[in-house]
Structure 1
Amino acid sequence: MAKTNQKKMNGNEVQQAIDKIATDIFESLIPEQEQRRIFGQTLQLLANGCPVPPDEIAIRLQVLTDKVISTLRGFGAEFDKDGNVLGVGLTLVPTPHVYKVDGRKLYTWCAADALLFPVMLNHTAYIESPDPVTGEKIRVGVTPDRVVEIEPKSAVVSWVKNVDATNIRGSGCCHVHFFSSPETASRWIEKHPDKMFYPANDVYQAMKHIILNKYGDMTVRQERICC
């Protein structure tokens, strides 16, 4: 069994570590309020489980379609052959992180996204994601206010120390996973020494604090729209 050599951090230290990376990402990719509104509106529409035409986002926000597309491309968004948005953090394209909301099966790019989006979108989500070391399923229930269930209770989330904003998914998202315990996370970090891990609930609380205190303009009320 791998030893857990990582220094235990208190809630404030976890908050500071996560705040640094999350703020770097948001300030690099969506520094303008209009861009943050585009990001939030896109997530809102993707949560309905349908590809999203950029024109629809533009009409809803009364901005140029080109602005919508350039903002989302800067974030590494996924598009289908017709130019509709398939994903930007929350995605219709399968990943290891299953995100279930109101009976719809969606996915997220990373574990942190899965914990963050219930706060941004004001809904309850149920997450299933495999430990990349053992394959054990981690199951998490998240509301806009708190983590209501997590199994196993020892679950942690890996985190990056640095991120390349020009390749947010490759340098960040692809390294942010759920693990069933600190021990399995430590085994993974032996091969990824520039990474950290924190208790899943601490990551949720840190992300919630960042959104509500810094980026409330990305938080939108969910509206159900048929495909």
Structure 2
Amino acid sequence: MQPDLTHLTERLLPIFPDFGAEGRELVRPLFRRLAHGRPVEPAELAAASGWSTAAVNETLSRWWGIRYDEEGRINGFWGLDLEPTRHQLRAGERALFAWCAWDTLFLADLMGETLEVTSPCPASGETIHLRVGPDGIEGSPPAARLALTLPDPARARHGVREAFCCGVDFVTEGAAEPWCQDRDDRHLLTLDQGYDLGQMVWEALLAPENEETAMSDCCASPEPESKPVRKRPCPSCGETARSVAGRTVLHHLQQPWAQPDLAHRNLWFCESPACPTVYFDAEGQAFTQADLRTTVGQKASGADAPICYCFGVARGEATPEVRGFVEAMTRDGLCACEARNPAGRCCLRDFPGS
């Protein structure tokens, strides 16, 4: 039986605080500064977000799911921690930790980095290794499932790690079914489903309450009527394509005014280098490089092919020093990959060696 991700999202949302229309502005900067691998001073978060320190402290005081050290600095925030846990993360040379297995599947997107994950299976004792990027699980996923036990929201508010995180693990494929036997509150998900669940929960937590809070009516882009399937075979080459927002595609078309309904449509991006199709929709319309004003680096060869659209980095310029600069800018929330990258995702995934 396939898990109902919409139902699980509705069950999980109450364990999180209401970050508030303004407080949402602090969430990603806090994740990305904590990802530096050192405690975060509230004053540092205030400076990075353009807030006063008093306003940051007052906002954080209303949230649970934050762990402070003795000096009042933030050491852990909603799944990301500096203190060792069973769920280990490596971002470049930095050692970080997660509160539970599910956290490891959504933190890469919130941090804007690719993570190497190591987590033990409580049933078999085996160690599970996987690589998770902002756009999902990379490479061949391990033969494992995500076992998730739904918490009591009231208990979670007084200690989310004890009430929820202790019941969320990766379980090897052979041990998964017995591990969940006779447990109606325990759900088994594939790793891709676990990633998608994280996306759905955090999109709901961080979405503006209404479009007017984010932009004026004249500039608002309505979302597609139905949520797109994240992965779909490209009709031209058969390779797996990933969903991309219509607003992203509009930024790259030669004549976006000729496609006024594009922001309302479900679209996918094919990055297969040999395939002429760049974007396609569910009705069969396709766009190739000739339809775009942006060179799609994922399909181009040579040193001049762009790989970072936010800071104008070509493949031949991708030295470790340049990558370090882009990583720092990404952690500080100074990138605009969703609009500038034709794939609508973090540019770091396209750097050599990623």
TM range (shorter): 0.7 to 0.9
Choose between structure 1 and 2: higher helix proportion.
1
CA gap 1:66/1:187 in 2 versus in 1, 3 angstroms: farther
Look up the match of 1:80: 69
Question: SS of 2:107's equivalent?
Answer: helix
Bigger mean CA offset, 134-143 vs 55-64: 55-64
Query: In the TM superposition, what whole-angstrom CA distance separates every residue of 1:45-93 from its partner, at most 9, and x where no partner exists?
Result: 1101011111111222233435534554532322111111111121001
Tell me the TM-score normalized by structure 2: 0.53
Look up the match of 1:99: 89
Counterpart pick for 1:222 among 331, 337, 348: 331
Aligned pairs, number: 208
1:54 aligns with 2:47: no
CA gap 1:215/1:221 in 2 versus in 1, 3 angstroms: farther
Look up the match of 2:165: 173
Query: In the TM superposition, what whole-angstrom CA distance separates every residue of 1:13-72 from its partner, at most 9, and x where no partner exists?
Result: 2x213311343234xx03403322223221111101011111111222233435534554
Instruction: Report if aligned partners of 2:19, 2:205 keep a CA contact under 8 Å in 1.
Output: no
Instruction: Report if aligned partners of 2:130, 2:137 keep a CA contact under 8 Å in 1.
Output: yes
1:113 aligns with 2:103: yes
Taking only the aligned residue pairs, the percentage that are identical comes to: 26
Q: Which has the higher contact order (CA 8 A, sep 6+)?
A: 1
Larger Cα Rg: Structure 1 or Structure 2? 2
Question: SS of 1:138's equivalent?
Answer: strand
CA gap 1:42/1:186 in 2 versus in 1, 3 angstroms: same
Gaps of 5+ in 1: 1-7
Instruction: Report if aligned partners of 1:18, 1:207 keep a CA contact under 8 Å in 2.
Output: no
Q: Distance in 1 between matches of 2:176 and 2:59?
A: 34
Q: Counterparts in 2 of 1:1-227, with a 5 A limit?
A: 8-9=1-2, 13=4, 15-26=5-16, 29-69=17-57, 71-72=59-60, 74-88=63-77, 89-153=79-143, 155-164=144-153, 165-166=156-157, 167-181=159-173, 183-190=174-181, 193-212=184-203, 215=206, 221-223=330-332
CA gap 1:78/1:213 in 2 versus in 1, 3 angstroms: closer
Question: Pairwise CA RMSD of aligned residues?
Answer: 2.6
Gaps of 5+ in 2: 209-328, 334-354
The offset of 1:191, in angstroms, is: 7.5
Q: Distance in 2 between matches of 1:199 and 1:96?
A: 20
Q: Distance in 1 between matches of 2:13 and 2:163?
A: 15
